[in-house]
Amino acid sequence: MYSNLIHYFTVALSIVLLTSCDKKEEQKSAAQQAPPAVPVTLEEVTTTDAVYYDEYPASITPLNQVELRPQVSGFITGVHFQDGARVKKGQLLYSIDAQLYSANYEQAVANLKVQEANVNKAQKDADRYHELDKNDAVAKQLVDNADAALEVAKKQAEAAKANISAVSTSVRYTKVFAPFDGIIGISLVKAGAAVSAGQTVLNTVSTDGQLAVDFGVDQKEIYRFTTLLKNNRSKDSTFTLAFGRDIYPYPGKIQLIDRAVDPQTGTIKTRLIFPNRDNLLRAGMTGTVRVLNRASTKSIVIPYKAVTEQLGEFFVYVAGDSSKVSQRRIVPGQSLGTTIIVKEGLKEGEKIAVEGVQNLREGSVVKTDK
C-alpha cells in the first residue's frame, strides 16, 4: 500500500511539472508572436488663431464684350485699324461696299420728289373741285374722287419718306464703328471678303480697363459672401488673384452674387472686379481666387504629415490607453504650409502620431523616446 502511494504521488508531481512547463512555453511563444512596439513621435493637439486663404478656381471675363457683325451684305472695302489695338467709341473699323445702297438711296429720294409732285397736283385738283362745288357747278362724286386722290398721294409720299429712312440706314450700316472704348481682336475678314448681314463675325471688341473674375461658391457660403458684398471695400485685400505661385499685385472687390444657385453643381456664381492697370489680365485666362479668411474662433492645426488618406477619406492615429493608438477619421480644412486645419475629428489636448505613421495599424502598440 505504501509503495502504491509513492507511485501515485510521483505521477501527480510529473503531471504538475509538465503542465507548468506547457504554460511557460505558451507564455514564451505568445511573447515571441506579439508584434514589437512601433517607435513614433507623439504631439499634443493645440489650437491657434489661423489666418489663411480659401481658394476657388476662376475665369477672367470682360465686363463688356461685343461680336461685330455686319447689318448689310456686301464686300469689305476697308479695314481701318490694327489688330489688337485699342479703339475709341465711334471709331470707324470696317467699310462695306456702299455703291448699291447709295444708288437705292438716290432712287428713293427721286421717288419722294415724284410723290411730292403728285401730292401738289392732287391738292390743286381738290381745291379746284371744291370751288366749283360751292357754286353747284360740279357733281359731288367728282369732289369726293379728288379728295380721295389727294389722300392717296399723301400716303404714297409718306411711304416714300419711310423708304428713304430705310435705305439711308442701310447706307449708314456700310460703316462699322466701335461700340465703346476697348481693345479689338484679330480681324476675321480681310478687304475684299464677302460678308452676310447678321451672320459673318468680323471681330470682337471688349473692355479691358477693368476685368471681371467669376468663380463658383458653395451654397453653404452664400451668407458669408453676402456679408462680404455688404461690407465691400475698394482697397481691402480680402480678394486676391493667383496664377500658380504668382500673385496679381492689385486686390479686387466683390461686385455681385448671381440670381440663383445652379441645381446641378450646388454653387452660385460670384463676380469680382480687378483693375487692369498694367494690362496683365486678358479675357479668357484662368486663375485662382484667394479669399482671406480670419477665423472667428481658434482652429485646430496639426502637421500635414500626421494625416493618412484612404479611399478619399482622411485619418490620424490618436494615442490611447495601454500605449495603443486608434485610427480616427477627420475632416481636413485649409492647408497652411506644412500644417493643416482640422475642421472635425480632433480635440485640443489629444495626442496624435506625427512620425512613424506609415508603420501604424489600428490598435498598434507604440513607444516614444520621451
| Residue 169, CA distances (Å) to 66, 68, 100, 114, 194 in order | 21, 17, 13, 21, 20
Measured in whole angstroms, the distance separating CA 225 from the mean position of its chain's CA atoms is 15
Distance from C-alpha of 223 to C-alpha of 296, rounded to nearest angstrom: 15
Question: What ranges in 179-336 are assigned the alpha helix state H?
Answer: 222-230
pLDDT at residue 176, rounded to an integer: 97
Distance from C-alpha of 273 to C-alpha of 335, rounded to nearest angstrom: 26
Q: Residues 6 or more apart from 255 whose CB is under 8 A from it? A: 212, 271, 272, 273
The DSSP line for 94-160 is EEE--HHHHHHHHHHHHHHHHHHHHHHHHHHHHHHHHHHHHTT-S-HHHHHHHHHHHHHHHHHHHHH
Which segments within 10-50 are labelled E, that is strand? 38-39, 41-44, 46-48
Low-confidence ranges of the chain (pLDDT < 70): 1-34, 233-235, 295-296, 369-370
70 dihedral zone (left: phi>0; alpha: psi -120 to 50; beta): beta
Q: 163-219, pLDDT tens digit by residue?
A: 888 888 889 999 999 999 999 999 999 999 999 999 999 999 999 999 999 999 999
| DSSP 8-class letter at 229 | H
pLDDT at residue 5, rounded to an integer: 47
pLDDT at residue 296, rounded to an integer: 61
pLDDT at residue 31, rounded to an integer: 47
pLDDT at residue 126, rounded to an integer: 82
pLDDT at residue 34, rounded to an integer: 58
Q: 108-123, pLDDT tens digit by residue?
A: 889 889 888 988 988 9
Contacts of 322-330 with C-beta under 8 Å, sequence gap 24+, read 322/365, 323/37, 323/365, 323/366, 323/367, 324/363, 324/364, 324/365, 324/366, 325/40, 325/353, 325/360, 325/362, 325/363, 325/364, 325/366, 326/362, 326/363, 327/360, 327/361, 327/362
| Residue 369, CA distances (Å) to 120, 217, 355 in order | 116, 46, 12
pLDDT at residue 165, rounded to an integer: 84
Secondary structure element (H or E) that encloses residue 33, with its range: helix 2-33
The SS3 assignment for 169 reads helix
pLDDT at residue 16, rounded to an integer: 47
- Single-letter amino acid code for the residue at 103: A
Measured in whole angstroms, the distance separating CA 115 from the mean position of its chain's CA atoms is 59
> What is the pTM for the complete model shown?
0.66
CB-count exposure of residue 353 (10 Å: 0-12, 13-18, 19+) = buried
Q: At what angle do helices 99-134 and 140-172 cross, to 10 degrees?
A: 160
